Each structure stands twice: as C-alpha cells, then as structure tokens.
Structure 1
Amino acid sequence: MMQGYKLENIDCFNFQYNHCSKRPCKFQHRQSCKDSSEICLDWFRHRKCRNKVCPRKHLNHEVMVAYFLCLAEKTANHCLQLTCPMYHAKARQFIEHGIIPPDPVPTVSKVKRKKMVHFVQCENPQVQTVVKSGFQLLDKARSFFANSVREGKLTQDRGRSYFKEILHTILFCGNINDPAIEPNLFFTKKELEVLSAKYPDVFRDYNTHLPTRPPFTVLLDAVVEVLQTRKADEVLKLLLHLTEQMVLELPDAKSNKCGNIFVSTAISYCYFWNLHITNEKTDNYFGASVSCRGRQQKEIMIDILCCKTWHQGISLAVCIGNWYKNQCLLFPEAMYSMAYNITFSKESPSEAGTASNNQHEHAVVRSGDVQNTDGPENNSTVKQRAYLKPRAPCERCLSMFPNVIYHPRPEHCEHPYWEYGNCAECESLSQLLYANPQIAMRLGYFVQRTILYSPTKQVHLPNDLILRKHRRLIENLKSLGFNVGDHLSFYDPSGADSTALEVFQS
C-alpha cells in the first residue's frame, strides 16, 4: 500500500474512465465524480475524504501509476491492446487507428487562499509554532554567522549567502503553510523593514522560487565550514550547542523534543574506507533529516531534493523505494554510516555522547563541551541540554541502501511512518558521492529487471521516476496556492543585490 493512502478511499480508475468488472472491487465506485477533471483537495492533502458523494476525483498520477498502470506498459514499455482498460501514461500508436494520447489525469487547480484573519494569527497554535520556530532559527543562525564573519571563520559573502538561504526557505515554508503565513508575522515591523531592505531578493522570490534544501541542512553545512574540519565530535558538539538555543518552550515539561519544527530530529554522517586498495578513509560527510511540518510540505521538500539537490544515485534509490518498495543502491564494500536522534534533558546524562564504528574512530559529544560562540547572554536562556542518542537505521534506509555498514546495527526493523527520503542518511550519502566521483562510478543497482529494462530497450531511469516526483511537486505546490508559473524556478542565495550581514536584536 502506498504511504498514507487507503484503497477504500481511492477511486477505481476503470470505473471512472471505462468499466470495472471486478466484484467486489477494493477501490471506490463513485458516480458523483465521473464528470470531474479535478482532484479533491481534502483527499489530496490529507489522504482521505469523508464525503461519499464528493464531486471531485480521489485519483492523481502517483496513485494511477501505483495501482492502475498497464502491465504491458510497465514491463515492455508499450501496450499493443487497443481496448486495454488500464491506465496508460504514454501515447500508443496503431497502424489503423493512429496515435492514441495518454489517458487523462485529474489535475489540481490553483488555489487562492484567503489571508488569515487577526484571530487566526493570534490564536492558531500551529501557526504560532511555525512563526516561533522560524524566528528562533533565524535569530540564532544569524548571530552565529555574524560572529563567525567577525572572527574570520567565514567570509562576508559566505555568511550572507548562508543566512539568505535559511531566510528564504523559512519564508517559503510559511508561504506553503495552510493557512499561509506572511513574512510580517515572523518579525517586528522594524525588523521586517531592515531585512527586506538588506535582502530584497529574498522577499521578492520567496513565493515564486523554490529552496534547494531544508534550513537545518544549511546550518549544518555552515558549521562544517566554520570549523574547517570534518571531525565528527567537533561538528556534532557545535551543532548541539546551537540547537540548544533553538528549543521552544513546550507545554509538556518532561518532553525530550526540541519543539522547533525547523530543527532536524536526526543527524547522520558517513564515510568510505578503502580497505583493498589504499587503506584510506574518506572525510566524514554529514546530513540531517528533512525539517518541516505537514505531509504535503514534507513531500514538497523531499521532491525538491530528489529533482534538484541530491546525487542522482540517491534520488533513484528514494524513487524506487517510494514506488516499488525495492532495494536499489549498492555501494562499494566498506561504506559506513552512523545516525543519532537529537534529544533534550534538563541534565545531560552521564553517558551522553556518540560512538562511531569502534574500528576506526570514536566521537563523544556533549553540547556543554563547546566553547560559546554566540555571546554570554545566550547561555542564560538555555533550559535544556542537548545530546545525541545513537539510532539504528529504519526500514526505509535498509531498503534503499542495503549493503551500507550501519552503526548501531538494527536489532529489529523499525517500521517508519515517514516517507522514503526523509532520513538524514540520504543527505550525508549524497554529499559523499558528490565529493568522491570515483566512488559514485562504482555504484551498483540491485533493482528488479522489470523496472529497469524492457525486451527491446532500456527504460530511461532515473529520468522517468524523477519526472513523477516533478509532477507530484507541481501538484502539491498548486494545491497550496504557490505561484508555480510556467516552470519551476529555484532561489540562488549568491545574488549580489543584498547588503552586509548584521545581527538583529530579538
């Protein structure tokens, strides 16, 4: 079953467009939406709709490919049956009947959302969490960047670029939130005037251009650059120190969560040990889990990463896992990966820390061991200590990357509720492949033959699967009222129409 979808809430494609002879059929047979060409937004956003006579279809391209795609098109790349009742994503050509175009796919019409009334702005807890989370991350990250620039650890351009990217991504996440959150809610009037004057391209492009990665991933990359080292203990210590300053006050005092929705819940790093040729270890490469809230919002960010950001091998593994539940990517022998959950406690546990594979290195992490880089006033606001709890890979990662050597090793397969691509391992492995093309050239693919090949020619992958991600991305953006335009545009933080990086006061 596809993630989040229930068969009894999916319209039967055959019933909607042809004739279904199955009795009983596990899918819905609804007459009320036969004439509709639009997708039900409630069903699309929440994977369910309670209206049994809903006038719009509970179908999209993703579901049609997963459940109704013609077997001949899937295996042989074409269908020769003129009256085939199944879904065809490709045109069919017949000598006597000419070209038959692909079957119709319901579309998501662009939504115009009303602006939030003052009551919603003030009282909606979900909106408050997004606003507080965004401001907290921006405030602490900007202070970190500005101090790093002053200390000569970052250039002015790099510090400004990092901050602009985080600012743009948070404003973008506010824009695709439901209800939409305008930039003025994240800042006071004075702060908004200062920021919009200093970074006009960010405020111009947040509702027309897409980000390329989550905000916490940007911060993690900045930490590595500031430290000028890839030693796991140093990177993770500083990251935890910064994370402590972004904790939101939660109603449950016993909670061990950060509360900030833009702070990743998991961190990982990986490396390759060339045991057979050079006996040398690569650098460590770090990644964070996808940090945003909401099913559609998380799908959007994962699809952006697959279509734009991640290494092609990682994107392919995510796509095949997502749609076929298959193993995919085989790394060269001796690829290591360590992952940790970020948790919080009023007192740091005596055994708090992280340990990598004991054959190679050992990293102990306590956030309190980090020298304060943001000024003495920030420590007084920290109410909880952050530490890392080693975590075994989930079922998704074991499926996508089956021969990676994980630490700790899983005692049992955790069945996750999140989508393929959400885990931190995807980002860290992607960075390793980009930095080491000789390793990327040695990747193997362990995929069912029917997915990759037809009897006559090779199916174009990953392009065909990435195209599905691209289509779902556009559908999700439109359903949330984002200004997609004629094509997808991505924000470039290196633009020159911004001024110096300075710290604003909360």
Structure 2
Amino acid sequence: MDKLQGPKEYVDEMLHSIFFLGWIHSPKYTPEMILGNHLSTMMKIFPQPFESYTRKLPKRTPFSCVLDMVVSMFGPDNELEIWRKLRDIANVMSGKHRFTSSTICISESGGRYYGASMSCTGKKEGQIMIAVSCLCTWHYSVSNAVMTYKPDKNKRKNFDGTMKLQECVKCQASNVKSGEEMPPCRSCGNLFGLEKPSNQMWPYGNCAEAESLSKLLYGEEEIVKKVVPSVDCKMREQVVKEVKAHLEEKLQESEFQWDSSYYIPQ
C-alpha cells in the first residue's frame, strides 16, 4: 500500500489544482465539464479535491504533480525513462487548456532535481500560482529571488534576493515534447545568475528553473550556504505582505472565496 499511496496523493493534488484553475478561469470550467463520464468514479476515489477547490489554494500547478509522480516511479537517475514518460503524457494531452508544462529543468549538485514550468494558461492564473509558490511552496531563497521583481517585471527598491549559482550547480532546461535543450531566459539569468541567457523574458518565477532549483536547495544544504544572499528581515516581511495582497487582489478578480489555507493532498 505504501507504494500506491504516493502516486495516489499526486493524482489527488493534481485534480485539486486542475479544478481550481478551471474555477478561476473565465469562463469557468467545472469538474463535471473537465471529467465528463468519469466524474462519479473520480469523486468516489478522490473526494477531497471536489470539496476543496472553491476555497483552498493549490501549492503548485498540475504538471508539477505529474512530474513528481513520474520521478517517483522511475527514480531521479533514470533520466531517459522519465523524459520518455513525460513526453508521452504531454503528446497525448491536447487542447487549449491542457495544463501541461512546456519545459522541464534538471538541476544537479550531488543529487538530481526536476522542476516544471508553470502549467496554467492566462496572465492572471500565472500570477496567482507564482505568488502562491513564493508564499508557501518554494525554498525561501528562490522565493526571495522571484520576489525581488514585481509582477510587472520591475525590480523592487531596497530588496534584492537574487543569487549567483556556483559552478558546482548544473541547471539545464529542455522542451518537454522534443527534449531539445533550451538556454535560460533573461529573467532566470537575472534571478539566478545563469549564464548565456536568451533574449526571451518570461514572467519572473514562471520557468522550470525556479521549481528545480528550489528542490535542489531544499536537498543540498551546503549549496544554500554558498549561494544564498542575506536579506533584511523587516524588508522581506513587507515584500511578503505585498505579494500576498497582490494574490488576494487577483483572487477577488476571479471571485474566489479563499479560506486562507492551502490544499493538502490526501
């Protein structure tokens, strides 16, 4: 049962994230619309997502759950099997609101850590999930780096949590479907000191590098000591308040009645 519990939790979390993103979308997509004939079966197996998606926030977007489930199935060192499975899943899914990530990143320094880009469509949805990730999901140092910039991509005054990764950290993103290696965008270059960035500039925190590096920093404490800059605690508290206020504003725009809690998969 232990081996089954992990994957089941990932599916539970993924469903809640999908339902939430469907609910805040305009027009709304309900679980009935998303699941169709599978609705009653899924409600019996995974009741909690159906009860929580209109009031609790997900901690991450759906494809991040898929990624972790696949990595747990094959183990982080079986990179080819992981890529093959992710590519199969991404190619099978189709449509405008497919909740798949375009990019996967692998960060290495001792261990191997996988991250996905934000798998949601829409500017509002992306800003909500980046704010959530900063507040409760990512390693504090990645949150600090991302929160250095406002949602409009302007840099904050009197707060700088950006970092420069050591040479001992390898960070490489690739296209999910083709497997083609991709250079970091200019935003990731600004956040993490990644070399040879492209001219493309995605929203800060949108890319797979953020999730991948967050997992690495959770797992490799020695790296944290080397690359993470110190920030003023009081200033950070103020920035966190601003990020939360922006999150609440976007949720109100979506007519989402947040109960101030985050979803815990069952």
Q: Is TM (by shorter chain) over 0.5?
A: yes
Instruction: Write out aligned runs for 1:87-486 (5 A).
Output: 155-188=3-36, 190-248=37-95, 261-272=98-109, 282-322=110-150, 323-324=154-155, 328-342=162-176, 386-402=177-193, 404=194, 409-410=196-197, 413-416=198-201, 418-445=202-229, 458=232, 460-485=234-259
CA RMSD of aligned residues (A): 2.1
Find the aligned partners of 1:232 and 1:442 in 2 and give their Cα distance. Answer: 27
Matched to 2:88, the amino acid is H
Find the aligned partners of 2:71 and 2:44 in 1 and give their Cα distance. Answer: 29
Q: CA deviation at 1:459?
A: 5.1
Find the aligned partners of 2:165 and 2:172 in 1 and give their Cα distance. Answer: 15
Find the aligned partners of 1:170 and 1:423 in 2 and give their Cα distance. Answer: 19
Q: Cα distance 1:210–1:225, how it changes in 2: closer, same or farther (>3 A)?
A: same
Report if the CA contact (8 A) 2:17-2:62 is conserved.
Answer: yes
TM-score norm. by structure 2 comes to 0.90
Report if the CA contact (8 A) 1:321-1:328 is conserved.
Answer: no
**In the TM superposition, what whole-angstrom CA distance separates every residue of 1:379-414 from its partner, at most 9, and x where no partner exists?**
xxxxxxx42221111110110111x4x5xx44xx41
Q: CA deviation at 1:285?
A: 0.7
Q: CA deviation at 1:461?
A: 4.3
Q: CA deviation at 1:172?
A: 0.5
Find the aligned partners of 2:228 and 2:136 in 1 and give their Cα distance. Answer: 22
Find the aligned partners of 2:174 and 2:192 in 1 and give their Cα distance. Answer: 17
Higher relative contact order (CA 8 A, sep 6+): 2
SS at match of 1:338: strand
SS at match of 1:209: coil
SS at match of 2:149: helix
Q: CA deviation at 1:333?
A: 3.6
Report if the CA contact (8 A) 1:230-1:285 is conserved.
Answer: no
Find the aligned partners of 1:300 and 1:493 in 2 and give their Cα distance. Answer: 19
The unaligned stretches of length 5 or more in structure 2 are: none
Find the aligned partners of 2:145 and 2:168 in 1 and give their Cα distance. Answer: 19
Find the aligned partners of 1:414 and 1:327 in 2 and give their Cα distance. Answer: 22
Query: Of the two, which has the highest radius of gyration?
Result: 1
Q: Cα distance 1:208–1:467, how it changes in 2: closer, same or farther (>3 A)?
A: same
Number of residue pairs aligned between Structure 1 and Structure 2: 260
Q: CA deviation at 1:437?
A: 1.7
SS at match of 2:180: strand
Q: CA deviation at 1:327?
A: 7.4
**In the TM superposition, what whole-angstrom CA distance separates every residue of 1:286-331 from its partner, at most 9, and x where no partner exists?**
1111011111111001111110100000000001133417671133
Report if the CA contact (8 A) 2:76-2:112 is conserved.
Answer: no
Q: Cα distance 1:185–1:269, how it changes in 2: closer, same or farther (>3 A)?
A: same
Matched to 1:445, the amino acid is P
Find the aligned partners of 2:221 and 2:46 in 1 and give their Cα distance. Answer: 35
Find the aligned partners of 1:459 and 1:155 in 2 and give their Cα distance. Answer: 41
Matched to 1:443, the amino acid is V
Find the aligned partners of 1:445 and 1:493 in 2 and give their Cα distance. Answer: 33
**In the TM superposition, what whole-angstrom CA distance separates every residue of 1:83-116 from its partner, at most 9, and x where no partner exists?**
xxxxxxxxxxxxxxxxxxxxxxxxxxxxxxxxxx
**In the TM superposition, what whole-angstrom CA distance separates every residue of 1:433-464 from its partner, at most 9, and x where no partner exists?**
00112221222439xxxxx5xxxxx4524332
Q: CA deviation at 1:484?
A: 1.7
SS at match of 1:238: helix
Moved segments of 4+, more than 4 Å: none
SS at match of 1:285: strand
Find the aligned partners of 2:234 and 2:226 in 1 and give their Cα distance. Answer: 20
Q: Cα distance 1:438–1:471, how it changes in 2: closer, same or farther (>3 A)?
A: same
SS at match of 1:489: coil
Find the aligned partners of 1:327 and 1:460 in 2 and give their Cα distance. Answer: 13
SS at match of 1:284: strand
Matched to 2:105, the amino acid is S
**In the TM superposition, what whole-angstrom CA distance separates every residue of 1:338-395 from its partner, at most 9, and x where no partner exists?**
11123xxxxxxxxxxxxxxxxxxxxxxxxxxxxxxxxxxxxxxxxxxx4222111111
Matched to 2:165, the amino acid is F
Q: Cα distance 1:187–1:313, how it changes in 2: closer, same or farther (>3 A)?
A: same
Q: Cα distance 1:389–1:333, how it changes in 2: closer, same or farther (>3 A)?
A: closer
Q: Cα distance 1:444–1:202, how it changes in 2: closer, same or farther (>3 A)?
A: closer
Q: Cα distance 1:208–1:260, how it changes in 2: closer, same or farther (>3 A)?
A: closer
Q: Cα distance 1:229–1:296, how it changes in 2: closer, same or farther (>3 A)?
A: closer
Matched to 2:263, the amino acid is Y
Partner of 1:24: none
Find the aligned partners of 1:263 and 1:283 in 2 and give their Cα distance. Answer: 25
